Each structure stands twice: as structure tokens, then as C-alpha cells.
Amino acid sequence: MTMEHYSDAQLALFRSVQRLAYDIAAKVAADLEPGVTELDAMHRLVAASKAAGVTDMFHQPFAWFGDRAAFKGFHHLTSFFPTERQLEPGMPYILDLALIKDGHATDIGYTVANGSATCEQLRRDLVELRTLILEHVRAGDTMRQVYEQVDEALKRQGNENCHKVYPSHVLGHKVGDVAHAGVATLKIAGFEAGALAYLAKQELSPFLGHPGGSALWNAGHGSKEKPDPGLWAIEPHIGRDGVGAKWEEILVVTDTDAYWLDDAVPHLRV
């Protein structure tokens, strides 16, 4: 994997895009009424992003309502895509939005409890994971070790690991400057060409003589290394009793430290 180092000025640009993504998700969520479908929510996220001057996305927006937010019945890749599932009163849900603006990519997850006590507890449990993940990265643990620590924490909390249902069981993935942004018409499995080209470059770099592990953070063999310097979109996704919750934000890893890109994120207000 290529090691990526960013200046304070560059990080400020990534931070602004991440904040924009959260603002868009919150704005769309505030207007979602009972009867709206996941597909409607996706189209609203796209429209709001375009209105904010964003034309490219790392991947298409996702919306998961009710038990779909806990990935119930997800058995293949198409299960992740928005459906005609309608939002009901008091139904919790998740919005997932990944923007690319001026080449700067971000990927966020936004959970709305909608009055669900179970979802509110899951959100509190997720905030605990934020501290745990940072502590273990700073301690020098490998990506696989951090994944295993998160899994153990979920068991103690009495929660299910939903991110193991994601392709490659990812807890996180690399993001950064997406050089091929602008190829907005070509999409593969919901990901735009620029995003896939970026991830492919990261995955292939060890075979080209560059040290490092996988660009996908999971419990597999490729994650036996420490996370390389760069930006990582970390996305713990958990569930309980048919209710799901997640957050996703950028973790900055340097040669000597790690820290969250921004502490002004909605999931901290629980």
C-alpha cells in the first residue's frame, strides 16, 4: 500500500468535505417522512450533494430502514442497495454518504434513532468503540488486532457485528486524494471508477515493491500489518434485536501518531 502524508492545509480540506457530508445527511434525514422509501432517500442524498456543488462520489449513497439497518437477510451484494422499503413512524435507519470534492474523498455513516431506545443504546455503545479503536492504533496494534478487539468489545456489550456482512468484512478502508474523480458515469457495484482505481492502486502497491498491508481493514491475512500512514474511513456497524447502527469517519494515521480528523461529528452527541 502506498503511504500517504498530508499537510495541515490538506487535512483541513478533507475535514470540510467530511463536515459537508454530515450536514447533507442531517438535512436529508430531517425531511424524511413516514412512507418515504430507501430509494427516495438515496435520490435526495444525491440531489442535496449536487446542490452543494458535489458531482462525484466514492460510492453511491445507501439508506437502510428498520431491520435492514441490522443487515437482516443480506446474503449477496445487491442486498446493500436501496429498496422500496418504506420508513415507518419510530423506525430507526442509517444513511451512508461518500463524497468526492475537488479530489478529496470522504465516507460517513449517519444513524437516526427516531425514538428507538435500542438504537440510542447502540449509538452510545458505538461511541465507546471510537475510543477503543484509537487507543489500540496508537498502541501499535495491527489492523487485524484492532478488528479483534472491536469484536470482543461487541460481545461484552451484547451486540452483533454487522460490518462482518460487508464485502471483505471491512471495519474500514483507505481514502484520500482520488485522482480519477470525475468519471461519474462509470460505476461498478455502486463504486465510481475513481474510487475503485484508488483502492486498486493501494492493494497492488505491495506487489510493486511498496511495503504495507491491505487497504481494507478486516480480520484477514492482509490486515496483519499496522495501518499505514494516510486516511482511513473507519465504520463500525453493530446490531441488536433487529436494530442496526453505525458511524463512519476519517482516522488520520501518521508515522508517529493517530487521531480522528474531526471531533465535531454528530455521532458524539448522544
Domain containing residue 176: 8-268
Rounded distance, CA 40 to CA 178, Å?
A: 28
Q: Within a domain: residue 120?
A: yes
Q: Within a domain: residue 243?
A: yes
Whichever domain contains 246, its CATH number is 3.90.230.10
Instruction: Give the total number of structural domains in the chain.
Output: 1
pLDDT by residue for the chain (270 residues), tens only, comes to: 567 899 999 999 999 999 999 999 999 999 999 999 999 999 999 999 999 999 899 999 999 999 999 999 898 889 999 999 999 999 999 999 999 999 999 999 999 999 999 999 999 999 999 999 999 999 999 999 999 999 999 999 999 999 999 989 999 999 998 864 444 444 544 445 444 444 444 444 443 344 456 889 999 888 999 999 999 999 999 999 999 999 999 999 999 999 999 998 888 876
* DSSP code per residue over 147-167: HHHHHHHHHHHT-EE-GGGSG
Q: Within a domain: residue 139?
A: yes
Q: Within a domain: residue 3?
A: no
Count Cβ atoms within 10 A of the Cβ of residue 183 and give its class: 0-12 exposed, 13-18 middle, 19 or more buried: middle
Rounded distance, CA 112 to CA 125, Å?
A: 15
Q: Within a domain: residue 1?
A: no
Q: Is this structure's pTM higher than 0.85?
A: yes
Q: Within a domain: residue 2?
A: no
